[in-house]
Structure 1
Amino acid sequence: MGSEPRWVGLKPSGIRYSAGINVDLLSAAADAGIAVPFACKNGVCELCEARLLSGSALNTRNQQMIPVGARLMMCRTVACDHLELEISAVMAAGKNQPRKFQANVVDVRSISHDVYRVELQLPRRRELSFHAGQYLSVILPDAEPCYFSIASSPSEQNIELHIQASPEWVSAQKVIDALTSGEAVSLELPHGKACLASAPEKPLLLIAAGTGFAQMKSLVEYLRGTSFSQPVKLFWGVRRHEDMYLRSMARQWEQEWSAFTFQPVVGDDEDNDWSGHHDQLVRAVLATGADWKNVEVHASGSPTMVYTLMDALIEAGLPPEGFFSDVLEYAPRS
């Protein structure tokens, strides 16, 4: 096959990625943003074990071909042809089963007039696997679970949340009170199917309203750690300038990552009609003139915003399967 990259398919997840010449399968998977478990990268820990289902692969330790049906260590294997592997440790988007964890609170700090940045540490972090764009629930005694997007990349050791809370929002304020009490907090994660298990093959449009930015932060920081080179454009819609609590971070991404552009969308300070700002955000997205048949859209915000945006983009030519939002799962249309 010359110098052409080889495709590696993973079962049962259905994920596929490209592996270059003389690049081990584990490194190629990492470049594609696929979270294969590993510890040593030299074939000793056996965490990256898989089974060869089809194709030709070489063991780089002994320079011998690996028979079909045999086990292999992805860190010590290169593809000589297109491959199909069986590895149950790699899950498709949204297929990780939620589990309960106890987390220690590392930090809670105000980053705007009503948004807190929360940093949590899981003593058993190695046991947790989640995909960029997923969310979790905070479980308090005698209360319904409260759901928040995970703002950190899956590669980060600690979990970051952005929680919007003010005195009139009782449930969110209870969460902040619990997080600042000094006690450990119960979490359940991961949740959500609108996430990335590997780097996509199309340009990305990311659209957030308010603290929906947290989900987009996870996606952006995840993609920056891969070899993804397609254009990424982030729209962030807020009512007032002060609601854009991490504008400087988005601007920094734009300066440091040539594939990334950021477009803030701020409503009229005197107009508190949030539906009007939804329309403004949708108009800004439509004005990009994107090739809607060749783009992937991820949206995070209220159901009203998400469905208004989805309807407009599908009418403009976006295939329905190119639109991703957790709203479609937790607030389906009747």
Structure 2
Amino acid sequence: MFRIRLQPSGLCYGADKAEDLLFAAAAAGIRVPAACRNGVCEICEARLLKGRALNTRNQHSIAVGEPLMMCRTRPLADLELEIPAVMASGNYQPRQYQAKVIDVRSISHDVYRVALQLPRRRDVAFHAGQYLSVILPGADPCYFSIASSPFAEQIELHIQASPDWISAQKVIDALTSGQDVTVELPHGKACLASMPDKPLLLVAAGTGFAQMKSLVDYLRETRYQKPVKLFWGVRKHEDMYLRSLAQQWQEEWAPFSFLPVVGDDEDNDWGGHHDQLVRAVLASGFDWQDVE
């Protein structure tokens, strides 16, 4: 294990010779600005100050003073790197941004998937699992879980907006108006500020799946290999708006398993699906000391 020191922040973490610097930093709870994760966007560019490193795209050694992409670099010795805008876990303070609405798409009878582009995406930091607020003129903030990974180029939201939900409908109307919107992030403590060292149990109800998607995308991108089990509870089958995505994760990612819980009740005011979800989790037989 090699020691990686980042300047001017002074943050340090460990990485072995088979590990890209970007993903090792994420596992240590250090947020390095990134987007494409394959060396193209150059957002994770740093400069080598000390040590020896390998460019995994061309298998060439990187000389001191040369730039490098942290997503495509592995250490051959202890390293010192120069890279701005790096923060440790817990250091993210909420800030307001003007977001460009890229897409608003209906993905079920009452859920919309929204894609936002923030200016200077490199400077926007959040942990997987956190949420943001949409701030409309003359209205209280509306809060939505971020459904995308911190590495993603765009911010994804899942907004449930039934016709009788006036505040949610106002948000959808604002997002489809063609105007930029004000968002504030990050918020929330139910997140991954560092890589867990135990298997993960994830539990969501309804559009709480958005938060789970952020977590799962992040875990997959950082090559987490411990078991991850997701329980997703809904009232009716049609409410499980991205079931095919969860099933795809299960097919493609060996550590992941998915357990849908459907209340199958037509009463939209019925809250029993939450009780059913809790019972399903409790009946799963987990040793609660062995999971997070």
Give the aligned partner of residue 224 of structure 1.
Answer: 220
Letter in 2 for 1:58: G
Partners of 1:38 and 1:257 lie apart in 2 by: 22
Aligned to 1:157, the other structure's residue is in SS state: coil
Give the aligned partner of residue 159 of structure 1.
Answer: 155
Aligned to 1:28, the other structure's residue is in SS state: helix
Give the aligned partner of residue 109 of structure 2.
Answer: 113
* 1:264 to 2:260 alignment: yes
Partners of 1:233 and 1:103 lie apart in 2 by: 33
- The answer as to whether partners of 2:30 and 2:87 remain within 8 angstroms in 1 is no
* 1:78 to 2:75 alignment: yes
Give the aligned partner of residue 305 of structure 1.
Answer: none
How big is each residue's C-alpha offset from its partner over 1:193-228, in whole Å with a ceiling of 9 and x where there is no partner?
Answer: 221133211100110011000000010011111121
2:142 to 146, 149, 172: 146
Letter in 2 for 1:256: E
How big is each residue's C-alpha offset from its partner over 1:247-268, in whole Å with a ceiling of 9 and x where there is no partner?
Answer: 1111111111111000011103
Give the aligned partner of residue 124 of structure 2.
Answer: 128
Letter in 1 for 2:286: A
Q: How does 1:191-210 map to 2 (within 5 A)?
A: 191-210=187-206
- The answer as to whether partners of 2:48 and 2:80 remain within 8 angstroms in 1 is no
1:275 to 264, 271, 275: 271
Aligned to 1:162, the other structure's residue is in SS state: strand
2:51 to 44, 50, 58: 58
Letter in 2 for 1:119: A
Shift of 1:188: 0.9
Partners of 1:138 and 1:24 lie apart in 2 by: 35
1:9–1:151 CA distance, 2 compared to 1 (3 A): same
1:250 to 224, 239, 246: 246
* 1:183 to 2:176 alignment: no
How big is each residue's C-alpha offset from its partner over 1:180-202, in whole Å with a ceiling of 9 and x where there is no partner?
Answer: 11111111111112211332111
- The answer as to whether partners of 2:229 and 2:259 remain within 8 angstroms in 1 is yes
Aligned to 2:51, the other structure's residue is in SS state: strand
- The answer as to whether partners of 2:45 and 2:69 remain within 8 angstroms in 1 is no
Aligned to 1:123, the other structure's residue is in SS state: coil
TM-score (norm. length: structure 2): 0.80
Aligned residue pairs total: 277
1:274–1:80 CA distance, 2 compared to 1 (3 A): farther
Aligned to 1:248, the other structure's residue is in SS state: helix
Aligned to 1:221, the other structure's residue is in SS state: helix
- The answer as to whether partners of 1:37 and 1:48 remain within 8 angstroms in 2 is no
Letter in 1 for 2:219: L
1:292–1:7 CA distance, 2 compared to 1 (3 A): farther
Letter in 1 for 2:130: Q
- The answer as to whether partners of 1:8 and 1:18 remain within 8 angstroms in 2 is yes
Give the aligned partner of residue 316 of structure 1.
Answer: none
Partners of 1:38 and 1:245 lie apart in 2 by: 29
1:94–1:46 CA distance, 2 compared to 1 (3 A): closer
Letter in 1 for 2:134: V
Letter in 2 for 1:288: S
Moved more, 179-188 or 94-103: 94-103
- The answer as to whether partners of 1:108 and 1:117 remain within 8 angstroms in 2 is yes
Partners of 2:17 and 2:28 lie apart in 1 by: 15
1:241 to 237, 242, 254: 237
- The answer as to whether partners of 2:27 and 2:194 remain within 8 angstroms in 1 is no
Shift of 1:91: 3.3
1:15–1:251 CA distance, 2 compared to 1 (3 A): farther
1:15–1:147 CA distance, 2 compared to 1 (3 A): farther
Shift of 1:274: 3.6
Shift of 1:244: 0.6
RMSD: 3.6
1:38–1:286 CA distance, 2 compared to 1 (3 A): closer
TM-score (norm. length: structure 1): 0.70
Aligned to 1:102, the other structure's residue is in SS state: strand
Letter in 2 for 1:203: P
Percent of aligned pairs sharing the same letter: 67
